[in-house]
Structure formats: C-alpha cells, structure tokens
Chain A
Amino acid sequence: MRIVVCTKETPDTAAKVEVSADGSVSWGDAPLVINPWDEYAVEEALQLKDRGASGITVLAAGTEVTRDALRHALAMGCDDAVLVDDPTLEQADTLLVSKALAAAVRKVDDVGIVLCGRTTTDGGSGLTPVQIGRWLGWSTLTYVSRVLAVDFAAGKITVERLLEEGRQVVESPLPVVISVVKEINEPRYPSFMGIRKAGKAEIPVWSAADLGLEGVAQVQWGAVSAPVTRDVQCEMITAVSVEEAADRLAEKLIADKVV
C-alpha cells in the first residue's frame, strides 16, 4: 500500500509578515519553506515505508511557488510528487482544498495512509486532514504522536493521539488519514543525492478538470490587518534584594487582579 503525504509552502516562521497598502500580504524577501509541521509527516511517511509501505507520493494544492516544498519532500526521500493547481482554488477555504486533495488521493492507486501535518503555520486551522478524511469516507486520526503498530497486509493501524487531557490509543482499519504532531519523530535533512534527484524530478500538475472537481468555497475572506499592538512598556522591577523585587512583583500582580 502507498502513502500520500500532503504538504504546502509557508513563509519562513521568522519572516516579518506585513500588509501592504493594497491590502495584500507580503513577507519581504524571506523564503517560502515547506510547512514546518509537514516535515514530521514526510519523516513519518519515510519511516512507514521502512515498515512495509510500497511507496510515497507527496501532494500539494498550490501554485508554482509550491514546487520547492514538494522538492524538499522529494529530497528527504519521497518517491514522487503531484501539484494540484487550478485558478478555482486560489480563493479556496479548507472545505474546497480538502475536496481537491481527496480527489487527488483517489487518483493514486492503492493508498493505505494519507499523512498530514497538524496544521499550517500561515492560515492553519488543522481542519484540512479531518476534512480530507471525510470526503474520502475514511476514518481520520488527528494529533498522532506515535504509530504503535501498522500491518499493511491485514489493513490495520494502532496509534497514540495527544488530546488535551492525555494520551488516547486508537485502532483503525486502513485506509486512514493521519495528522501528526511534532513529538512523533525527528525529521531528517535532505541528503545531497536526494537534493540532486529532487531537482531533476518531473512534477505533474493536476487541474480541477483532471480531478472532476466541483464546488465552491463557502468562506469569504475580507480585509487582513495588523493586530492591535498593545502599548506595553515593560516596567523593570529593581530592588536591593531579589526577595524585595519578587515581593513587589507579587504585589503588582495581585493589584492587577491577574493572580
């Protein structure tokens, strides 16, 4: 059974993101990188291949700028990549993006597991993985911190998930959609050979028509603005002794009613 990893590009997390005068978002000359969470998904796919999966396809819904994220995943060791690119997806919401990704997954033969990151660091909501799973009619296991057992022949998987109150262990039949948290592994760096291979790889583009995709985005995005910056002036607390400084801080926090 094959694995499909879903990924996209995001501005580098240290980038200064700003709204331009025309209302568009820009991040200067900071690079676009593979969504950091997806590196864990790619790494887990590679490890699952060692555990018996037959191959790994990387999948992204995006535009030409998304190719670098796909190449990063190929350089880490994935076998092939597909870019879903269509003008109708430009103003998409997770409902439509997940529908497109699910349609693309259906075009890949014998998929056992779709792997996603927990969320995207730009417009992320964590909704995409569960929605891909729903469109496919497969069960979805989110926030997975460990794949405890997987049996591709028998079509079964057991994972540990991180929920607010603790760790849940769940069994599910394959195929399944999984989103992973950072704890699951330590992503490898692309190898020199991998980078060379990825540079030469052909990445086919699938359009909405190729996927038989219909539907519209339901969410309409309006203006983007900078968050209201609270005018915080840090009051440095100094005193002759640490005890006195600590006591003054405690007094202030109690007066501010936050303790």
Chain B
Amino acid sequence: MGGVWVWIEQHDGKAAGASWEAVGVGRRLADALGEKVTALVFGHNAAALGSEAIKRGADSALVCDDETLADFRVDPVASLLSALAKQHGPSVIMAGATTRGTDVMGPAAVDLDAGVVADVVEIEVERERIVASRPVYAGKLIARATIPAGVQMFTLRGRAFPAPAVDEARTGAVEAVSPVRAEGDITTKVTSFEVRGGEVSLTEAAIVVAGGRGVGGPEGFEPLRELAGVLGAALGASRATVDAGWIPYEYQVGQTGKVVSPDLYIAAGVSGAVQHQAGMRTSKVIVAINKDADAPIFRLARYGIAGDLFQVVPALTAAFRKRLGK
C-alpha cells in the first residue's frame, strides 16, 4: 500500500505537457516520502506512454489499452482510476489541472471519498505531510492546503513545474490492466472531434503573443500571427477582442478565459485589466507594446515599448527572423 500515482492524460497517443510535469513532481514527493511513483496510462494505442513515463521518472506503469478508451469520456476513465486505487491503495494521486484532468480527478475523488486540491502551483513535503499551495481569487491570493486523511489528490497547474527530461537508462515494470466498463455500460458517445489545425496549444506554449482591442479588428491579428509563427508561439487574445467577434473564445486569456504561464508573454494593444492579468500574471517575462505609455500592462511588464503595434510588431518579427536565422 502507498505510492504516488500520476494519471497521464493523452490525446492521439501524445501526452499532455502537464502530465510529464506531474511525473516530475511525483518523483520529488515520492523520494521525500520514501515511496514509489506509478504512472497510469489509459487509452487506445497509447501504451508506449507507459515506458516514456518511466523514462521521465516513474518507477512503474499501469497501462489499460482498450477501444472503449479511444475517445476521452469521463466515466470509463474515472471509474478505472478509482477501481485501481481501491485495489492498490496509493496515498497520492496527481494529474494536470487541465480540462480532462479535472474531469477525471473529480469523480474519482467522489468514488474514493477523497479530498482534491486543484490548480496547485507549489507542493512540498513538510514533516512527512504534503502541503500544496494554489492561487485563489483569480491569483490575487495564495492558499495552503493539506489533506490529513485518505487518498490525497492534486491537480497541478500546467507549466508551474518543470517537465522532467527523458532518461533512456531508466527501466521499470509496465503492467497491463483491464477496463472496468464495457461499451454497453457507457452512456455517452463521442460523435466527432474537430481538431484545431496545427496550432501551438495556448496553455502549453512556452511563448504567447496576445492581442487586445488595439489590434482594431480581425485582420489586426495578422501581424501577431506572423510573430507567433517565427517564435513558435501560441496566439492569445483579450476578452474585448473575443467579445467583438474578432477571434474565437478559445484564444481568450484571463479570468473568464485560459490561465497561461509561459516563459514569455508579449501583450500588444492590451491595456492590462485585472481580469486579463488573472490569466497571465505568472508569466516569467512579460513584454508590453502599447500606444499609451500609462497603460496598466506596463506595471507588470519587464520590457515595454510605447508605440503603435502595427509598426512595432512587424519590426519585432523582422528582428527575430534575422537573429534566429529564420
């Protein structure tokens, strides 16, 4: 009994960045607690992720490869997770604080009558106990929490922890497990999945280039897209531009959009309202480009250029092209 478990979220056989970050955290906690790390991979044709998890720091993996798990659906995944946990009795279960991570950990916690601390940004072992910290009030405060009894469950905010590298020398046991739900017991059916074409995922991106009302219209995002292309960055947007219908909601950063924490966040034509800050405040380096030198965004930024984004952004694209040899 005991052990630190990490649920590996995957789509099309590719793991979510937050899952590898959780493996890294799991390794650190397990070493401090004197326990082992087990990775859980549930899917169809995704079994290779079991050995990858070991190479990234897990001691072993439990892999369920089944057709019922091909499309992501909550019940078969959460039920399998809680059934295995009841059987093996881990002390800790972690996942990324992603849409799927939340969907799976919530119901599994109900099955296990366990506490979950969501959206964790710091986690340590203090006197044999795990203490987790998470932002509350849209990042305006940080709260600490413990789970004194039962299984301790945590979802970890993406990019809050480093992703462990692959160590080819690491080995461990990969055990196959069976699903607990047959297709006939699963009430939901996925009828289609429309993938967004070839873009960098906003929450996983190391660099985000975001546009605000200053872009002036849907076409105003074009120079930002070009800069993002050169930097391998994801495109983001303020709510004002989403509400205006200039760009779809998926791109919205902020309190009622996505929370991102990239190494570099370039905000162009964004004023920096508190609700926007809630989604990007923890970025490592923030660059502000705004016509108005008094805009609040400059108070968060490490670097700023007061100027017209339609001149500054293309110039920046050209500068990076030259310096990066692209």
B2 contacts across to A, CB distance below 8 A: none
Q: Counting CB contacts under 8 A, is B301 at the interface?
A: yes
Given contacts A93-B115, A135-B110, A227-B135, contact A219 B147 (CB under 8 A): yes
Asked whether, in the complex, the Cβ of B116 is within 8 Å of the Cβ of A145, the reply is: no
Q: Verify if A11 is at the interface (C-beta below 8 Å from B).
A: yes
Contact status B304-A235, CB under 8 Å? yes
A-side contacts of B252, CB under 8 Å:
182
Separation in Å of the A104 CB from the closest CB of chain B?
A: 16
Q: Which among A95, A139, A170, A256 is the interface contact of B116 at CB below 8 angstroms? A: A95
Is B207 a contact partner of A258 (Cβ separation < 8 A)? yes
Query: For window 159-197 of chain A, which residues contact chain B by CB distance below 8 Å?
Result: 162-173, 181-183
Inter-subunit contact A221/B145 (CB<8 Å) = yes
Q: Is B305 an interface residue (CB 8 A)?
A: yes
Contact (A163, B99) CB under 8 Å given A19-B141, A222-B145, A253-B287: yes
Residues from chain A with a CB closer than 8 A to the CB of B145 are 219-222
Q: Which of B28-36, B46-54, B160-168, B188-196 contacts its partner? A: B188-196
Of A80-88, A105-113, A198-206, A236-244, the segment with at least 4 beta carbons within 8 Å of chain B is A236-244
Q: Taking the nearest CB of chain B, how far is it from the CB of A150, in angstroms?
A: 15
Binary flags per residue of A30-43, CB closer than 8 Å to B gives 1, else 0: 00000011000000
Indicate if the CB atoms of B102 and A139 lie closer than 8 Å: no
Whether A127 is near chain B, meaning CB under 8 Å from some CB there, is yes
Q: Measured between alpha carbons, how far is A74 from B101 in the docked complex, in Å? A: 33
Asked if B305 and A245 make an inter-chain contact with CB atoms under 8 angstroms apart, the answer reads: yes
The verdict on A134 contacting B78 (CB below 8 Å), with A166-B196, A168-B192, A223-B144 known, is yes
Given contacts A36-B256, A168-B193, contact A236 B109 (CB under 8 A): no
Query: Chain B residues near A154 (CB, 8 Å)?
Result: none
Smallest CB separation, A257 vs chain B (Å):
8
Q: What residues of B have a CB within 8 angstroms of the CB of A11 in the complex?
A: 137
Residue B311 lies at the interface, judged by CB distance under 8 Å to chain A: yes
B139 at the interface (CB under 8 A from A): yes
With both beta carbons as reference points, the residue of chain A lying nearest to B299 in the complex is identified as: A234
Binary A-proximity of B134-148 (CB < 8 A = 1, otherwise 0): 011111111111111
Q: Which of A128, A220, A226 is within 8 Å of B141, CB to CB? A: A226
| A131 within 8 Å of B (CB atoms) | yes
Judged by a CB distance under 8 angstroms, whether A218 is at the interface is: yes
Cβ contacts under 8 Å, B284 to chain A: 258
Name B264's closest neighbour in chain A (CB-CB). Answer: A258
B303 contacts A218, CB within 8 Å?
no
Q: Which residues of B contact A127 (CB under 8 A)?
A: 102, 105-106, 109, 116, 118
**In the complex, which of the residues A222, A227, A242, A250 contacts B144, with contact meaning CB atoms closer than 8 Å?**
A222
Chain A interface: which of B83-91, B171-179, B214-222, B315-323?
B315-323
- Say yes or no: A172 contacts B188, CB within 8 Å: yes
**What residues of B have a CB within 8 angstroms of the CB of A221 in the complex?**
143-145
A47 — which chain B residues lie within 8 A by C-beta?
Answer: none
B148 with A227: CB separation less than 8 A: no
Flag if B137 contacts A258 (CB, 8 Å).
no
- Bound: A258/B262 CA distance, A: 9
Residues of chain A with a CB closer than 8 A to B263's CB: 258
A224, B170: Cα distance in complex, Å: 39
- Nearest Cβ in chain A — how far from B239, in angstroms? 8
Residues of chain A within 8 A (CB-CB) of B311 are 242
| Contacting pair B142 A225 (CB below 8 A) | yes
Does the CB pair B319–A224 fall under 8 Å? no
B75 within 8 A of A: yes
- The answer, among A163, A223, A225, A237, for a CB contact under 8 Å with B72, is A163
Given contacts A171-B191, A234-B298, whether A254 and B255 have CB atoms under 8 Å apart is no
Query: Shortest beta-carbon distance, B224 to chain A, in Å?
Result: 14
The listed residue (A122, A163, A238, A243) touching B319 by CB distance below 8 A is A243
Contact residue among B248, B299, B316 (Cβ-Cβ distance under 8 Å from A249): B316
Docked pose: A232 CA to B94 CA in angstroms: 33
Interface contact B307-A250, CB-CB below 8 Å: no
Is A134 in contact with B188, judged by CB distance below 8 angstroms? no
Asked if residues B302 and A232 are in contact (CB atoms below 8 Å), the reply is: yes
> How far apart sit A183 and B247, CA to CA, in the bound complex (Å)?
11
| CA A247 to CA B111, docked complex, whole Å | 56
Q: In the bound complex, how far is the Cα of B302 from the Cα of A256, in angstroms? A: 11
Q: Are A249 and B305 in contact (CB under 8 A)?
A: yes
Q: Can you name 20 A-B residue pairings with CB atoms under 8 Å? A: A19-B141, A122-B136, A123-B137, A125-B102, A127-B106, A135-B110, A141-B188, A158-B191, A171-B189, A218-B148, A218-B150, A219-B146, A220-B147, A226-B141, A234-B288, A234-B301, A235-B303, A243-B318, A249-B316, A249-B319
